[in-house]
Amino acid sequence: MAREYETVIGLEAHAHLKTRTKLFCACSAQPDPAPNSHVCPVCTGMPGVLPVMNKEAVRLAVRTALAMSCRVQTASVMARKNYFYPDLPKNYQISQYERPLATDGEVPFHVQGTRRTVRLVRIHMEEDAGRLLHEGGASLVDYNRCGVPLVEIVSQPDLRTPEEAAEYLKALRNILRYIGASEANMEEGNLRCDANISIRPAGDGALGTKVEIKNMNSFRHVQQALAFEAKRQAELTDRGGRVAQETRLWDPEALATRSMRSKEEAHDYRYFPDPDLLPLSVPQIWVDEIAREIPELPAQKIEKYTRDLGLPASDAQTLVDDLELVAFFEEALRSYPEARPLANWLTSELVGLLRQAGKTIAGGPVGPTALAGLLGEVDSGRISGKMGKELLAEMVSTGASAASIIEKKGLRQITDEGDLERVVDSLIAKFPNERKRVEAGEIKLMQFFVGQAMKETGGKANPPKLQAILRRKFRLS
Ligand SMILES: [Zn+2]
């Protein structure tokens, strides 16, 4: 019988900081499809050049550290991590080792509505390497990415399932986007992640041998790769084998990890403080200033939406996962304070319609006040919910407001009691058999009259009022 194992996962995430220029030179840090178009002697590692630290990169890294509740060190040290690879022209990467920018910290995240936290070991700054392109049997190198600033966010091995790992990584992405520190897009490579994973017999305190997994380019890959690896390690151990400490690559086509190399140790990199750079000094007064500018964070919003506004956890998560959606929601909430129906119309109706039309929420055809206006019309009973949905579709395609479409099409619901009563009376006279059956107790046939009244009025009869009149006529209430 297979033994029960507990999976232990820690993630190292790398995020590109959203600066205009690179970490140590004035080259553009923006992606460019033309290879080697953003390069200079500094980022291509020419002899005799000197790196100059980009202050904005430090500011964004400090902002990231504060948003993740880290302790920011007022003095930290840039170090050389020495290794040879063709995409690294200096043969070392400027990173941080013994004295990182920030330590400790924690990141809250939600798994199916339940709040969890992951502790962080550290956040440090480093430069990115270039990219190798393999084309037509040749390998080419593009140095555009060389020297782009990164933060590396190292977690404690606090995660227990692949799903938790993916949710934690999404929470990281959300924080990075909320504070404007990074685009944090995994598919575009400006958020990347390596995972350390081991298994141990359930209830055991000691950690098993860990395997590092690389090359996961989406949240789905992270979850798939970790699930595969946990299973591989469990089956190997059950067969009496031993898990080797190594680096494995995720192969998204084969849906499997494969061995890449035995894991290098820190001492293999011969770290030492970079003699070209002074210790990085971040005065406390600057840290305090940056702290004051941190906006409301995703986890705070989720708490607020579920606790104060009564939104279902899934709706709160959907809103918070998308910066544009959350901004739209909060803006609309100012003119229409019913959070639940608003979230529902926004996430299921409007988003769906926009997706079909190939349009986006920000700057799209229906703004927050326009949606709020439509919901006001529905609430007032002037139009039904069903009419509201049709109206919304028209608002998406034309950009017109609910009120103007209602006016133009004469869509107002019939809410006048006298008008509705006249319709009901004529139907009762028109269908004497059905009337008798209802009177004999066949209550379900009431729906027949509702349907007929809707047909008669072109769908404009106000349903609650219509029901009330019918019940009164048949003496049911
Ligand atoms: Zn450069």
pLDDT in tens, 342-394: 999 999 899 999 999 888 888 888 999 999 999 988 887 777 888 889 889 98
Domain with 453 in it: 417-473
Q: Cα–Cα distance between 461 and 199 in angstroms, integer? A: 63
Domain boundary among 358, 386, 409: 409
Element of type H or E holding 225: helix 219-238
The most distant pair of C-alpha atoms in the chain lies apart, rounded to whole Å, by 101
397 and 308 both lie in a single domain: yes
Neighbours of 52 (CB within 10 A): 13
Region 42-61: mean pLDDT is: 96
CA 370 vs CA 69, 136, 224, 332, 450: distances in Å? 38, 53, 41, 8, 31
405 and 438 both lie in a single domain: no
Element of type H or E holding 337: none
Query: Ligand 1 (ion): which residues have CB within 5 A?
Result: 25, 27, 40, 42-43
- 55 pLDDT more than 90: yes
Q: Note the Cα 315 to chain centre separation in Å.
A: 13
Region 197-214: mean pLDDT is: 91
Distance 145 CA to ligand 1 centre (A): 10
Distance 186 CA to ligand 1 centre (A): 24
Distance 18 CA to ligand 1 centre (A): 16
Distance 40 CA to ligand 1 centre (A): 4
285 and 362 both lie in a single domain: no
pLDDT of residue 2: 54
Confidence of residue 416 (pLDDT cuts 50, 70, 90): confident
309 and 228 both lie in a single domain: no
Residue of 398, 421, 400, 402 whose CA lies nearest to 411? 402
315 and 196 both lie in a single domain: no
175 and 86 both lie in a single domain: yes
Q: Cα–Cα distance between 68 and 104 in angstroms, integer? A: 9
- 141 pLDDT more than 90: yes
On whether the CB atoms of residues 354 and 396 are closer than 8 A, the answer is yes
Distance 130 CA to ligand 1 centre (A): 12
On whether the CB atoms of residues 283 and 308 are closer than 8 A, the answer is no
Distance 87 CA to ligand 1 centre (A): 14
- 324 pLDDT more than 50: yes
Distance 31 CA to ligand 1 centre (A): 13
Element of type H or E holding 387: helix 385-398
- 409 pLDDT more than 80: no
Distance 148 CA to ligand 1 centre (A): 9
Mean pLDDT (the chain, rounded):
91
In this structure, what token pair is assigned to residue 137? 């049997």
pLDDT of residue 3: 65
For residue 25, what are the contacts with CB-CB under 8 A and spacing of at least 6? 40, 42, 43, 51, 52, 147
Q: What is the pTM of this model?
A: 0.84
DSSP helix/strand/coil, 20: coil
Domain boundary among 363, 392, 409: 409
Distance 188 CA to ligand 1 centre (A): 21
On whether the CB atoms of residues 92 and 82 are closer than 8 A, the answer is yes
Tens digits of residue pLDDT in 6-26: 999 999 999 999 999 999 999
91 and 234 both lie in a single domain: yes
On whether the CB atoms of residues 102 and 70 are closer than 8 A, the answer is yes
On whether the CB atoms of residues 169 and 175 are closer than 8 A, the answer is no
167 and 276 both lie in a single domain: yes
Tens digits of residue pLDDT in 71-123: 999 999 999 999 999 999 999 999 999 999 999 999 999 998 789 999 999 99
Q: Cα–Cα distance between 390 and 377 in angstroms, integer? A: 13
Say which range, 257-266, 273-282, 354-363, 421-430, has the weakest mean pLDDT: 257-266
* Unique residue bearing structure tokens 């709160």: 316
152 and 271 both lie in a single domain: yes
Distance 187 CA to ligand 1 centre (A): 25
Distance 59 CA to ligand 1 centre (A): 20
Distance 291 CA to ligand 1 centre (A): 30
451 and 361 both lie in a single domain: no
- 477 pLDDT more than 60: no
Distance 132 CA to ligand 1 centre (A): 18
Distance 37 CA to ligand 1 centre (A): 10
Distance 27 CA to ligand 1 centre (A): 4
Domain boundary among 263, 290, 317: 290
In this structure, what token pair is assigned to residue 395? 């608002």
Distance 295 CA to ligand 1 centre (A): 32
On whether the CB atoms of residues 151 and 120 are closer than 8 A, the answer is no
Query: Which one-letter amino acid corresponds to residue 222?
Result: V
334 and 430 both lie in a single domain: no
Of 239 and 205, the one with more pLDDT: 239
Distance 131 CA to ligand 1 centre (A): 15
3-state secondary structure 241-255: CCCCCEEEEEECCCC
What backbone phi and psi angles, to 5 degrees, belong to 82? -90, 120
- 459 pLDDT more than 80: no
**What's the CATH code of the domain at 457?**
1.10.10
Distance 204 CA to ligand 1 centre (A): 50
- 1 pLDDT more than 50: no
In this structure, what token pair is assigned to residue 49? 């050049």
127 and 215 both lie in a single domain: yes
Distance 51 CA to ligand 1 centre (A): 9
On whether the CB atoms of residues 197 and 7 are closer than 8 A, the answer is yes
Query: Which one-letter amino acid corresponds to residue 124?
Result: H
Q: Cα–Cα distance between 73 and 283 in angstroms, integer? A: 9
10 Å CB burial of residue 410 (0-12, 13-18, 19+) is exposed
Distance 273 CA to ligand 1 centre (A): 21
pLDDT of residue 121: 97
Distance 41 CA to ligand 1 centre (A): 6
State how many domains the chain has.
3
pLDDT of residue 321: 94
CA-based torsion, 372, 173, 224, 209: positive or negative: negative
pLDDT of residue 371: 93
Distance 419 CA to ligand 1 centre (A): 76
What backbone phi and psi angles, to 5 degrees, belong to 8? -120, 120
Distance 129 CA to ligand 1 centre (A): 12
Q: Cα–Cα distance between 349 and 344 in angstroms, integer? A: 7
Distance 22 CA to ligand 1 centre (A): 7
Distance 396 CA to ligand 1 centre (A): 45
Region 439-451: mean pLDDT is: 86
Tens digits of residue pLDDT in 230-240: 999 999 999 99
